[in-house]
Amino acid sequence: MTTDDFRGDAHTLLDHMLKDASANPDREELLQQYAEQFTRMHNYYAHQLLNEVIEDARTRLDARISPDPIRQTIASVQTTVQDVWKSIWKP
């Protein structure tokens, strides 16, 4: 999941809204309908992001508590690289 996925879905939804605006004279009804769709879309993407974060944390925790020192080292390196990457590309 990426920001581009969300942006693409939002663009598509806004495009549909603009097309519907000419066919539906009731502006408030149209706004309510699309606000609800944006809310559902946001909930979906937020849920996906949370699942990814939890899965990543679970993987890291499993590697850190592993009795295998190689897995622990790999987990430490992965954490360090990800932290450096995030600090470089932080928006």
- What is the domain range of residue 26? 3-89
Q: How many domains, in total, are found in the chain?
A: 1
pTM (global) more than 0.75: no
Dihedral of CA atoms 30, 33, 36, 42 in degrees, nearest 10, equals: -70
Query: How many Å apart are CA 61 and CA 42, to the nearest integer?
Result: 28
Query: How many Å apart are CA 31 and CA 52, to the nearest integer?
Result: 31
Beta carbons of 71 and 63 less than 8 angstroms apart: yes
| Per-residue pLDDT tens digits of the chain, which is 91 residues long | 678 888 999 999 999 888 888 887 788 888 899 999 999 999 998 888 888 888 877 777 777 676 777 777 777 777 777 777 777 766 5
7 backbone φψ class: left, alpha, beta (φ>0; ψ -120 to 50) = alpha
Residue 84, amino acid: V
